[in-house]
Amino acid sequence: MAGNGISGLAQELASKRLDKVYAVEHALLGEYTPDGYTAALEALVRQVNPSCVLFPHTYQVRDFVPKLATRLSRVLVSDVIRVRVEDGALVFVRLLFQGKLNGDMRVSGPAPHLVSIQAGAYRAENVQTGSAVVETVTPALTPDQIRSKPHPPFRESSRAVDLTAAELIVSVGRGIKEKENIPIVEELARALGAELAASRPICDNGWLPMERQVGSSGQTVAPKLYLAVGISGAIQHLVGMKGAKTIVAINKDSNAPIFEVADIGVVGDLFEVVPALVEEIRKAKS
């Protein structure tokens, strides 16, 4: 991990089953810049010389890791959803064509190999506890290396919803028909104590904020329960939620693609099913 004043985070990470935690600390890493992160992590990679470097597939990583890969004369394998060992070699499975296909990638050439992993590829409850050593690394950064100056975050950032941390999600699609019907699904989310999410058309229409969009152009989630209401199951949406532990779909079209990935499918009119479901949930809780 990299940043400034990250000793607490490093100790938290060290409580997991790891061999060692490297905390890359520097005042110039307090605010993210592609130049700073690239220079700092380049120095760490050259010092440690690992066989493989894994990154989360975040906006920041997409910003600076291609630059880091170029500095190291390596190729970045991005958007990986699974990793397996085959004949003693690592095989990275990544999404292709908006999730319509999965491709197996085998890397060749000298290490290190750079890989970014999609959110939800691995479940948090599978992480094992342990006790790792923390090594603090201070890179030789100077202000003249930082060519860009970060601006203050947008005001909306403070209100952003992190759907990736939600254990229960109720998501709504075009089957809701119009904005005035959104409260029907909001009531279900409240009854379950779940976060409300949506497919892209709902957010594009301004019926819900863009921060609640799930899919290839929104957030990728892996909750314990994903309840899809009135969502047909376009591939762009499935990419963002198929890592859920349990998927429940409510749709009046029995041939909707969402049923191909659903663990439980309810074929019916959401305007009848959802209110009845809310009532039963409240009865069960009372």
Contact status, residue 157 vs residue 173, Cβ threshold 8 Å: no
Claim to verify: residue 126 and residue 12 sit in the same structural domain: yes
Domain that holds residue 225: 157-285
Identify the CATH number of the domain in which residue 100 sits.
3.40.50.620
Claim to verify: residue 97 and residue 165 sit in the same structural domain: no
Claim to verify: residue 168 and residue 187 sit in the same structural domain: yes
pLDDT for 158 equals: 46
Claim to verify: residue 219 and residue 128 sit in the same structural domain: no
pLDDT in tens, the chain (286 residues): 899 999 899 999 999 999 999 999 999 999 999 999 999 999 999 999 999 999 988 888 999 999 999 999 998 998 888 899 998 889 999 877 766 778 899 988 888 999 998 876 776 777 888 999 999 999 999 999 999 888 776 554 444 678 988 999 999 999 999 999 999 999 999 999 999 999 999 999 999 999 999 988 888 898 999 999 999 998 889 888 988 999 999 999 999 999 999 999 999 999 999 999 999 999 998 8
pLDDT for 239 equals: 84
Claim to verify: residue 182 and residue 113 sit in the same structural domain: no
Q: Which distant-in-sequence residues (6+ apart) come within 8 Å of 181 by Cβ?
A: 271
Claim to verify: residue 7 and residue 146 sit in the same structural domain: yes
Claim to verify: residue 7 and residue 130 sit in the same structural domain: yes
Claim to verify: residue 183 and residue 111 sit in the same structural domain: no
pLDDT for 160 equals: 64
172 phi and psi, to 5 degrees? -120, 145
Claim to verify: residue 10 and residue 147 sit in the same structural domain: yes
Sheet holding 168-172, edge to edge: 195-198, 168-172, 225-229, 246-251, 264-267
Give the DSSP per-residue string, 176-211.
Answer: G-SGGGHHHHHHHHHHHT-EEEE-HHHHHTTSS-GG
Number of domains the chain is built from:
2
pLDDT for 283 equals: 93
Sheet holding 133-137, edge to edge: 2-3, 20-25, 133-137
Claim to verify: residue 79 and residue 133 sit in the same structural domain: yes
Rg of the chain over all Cα atoms, to the nearest angstrom = 22
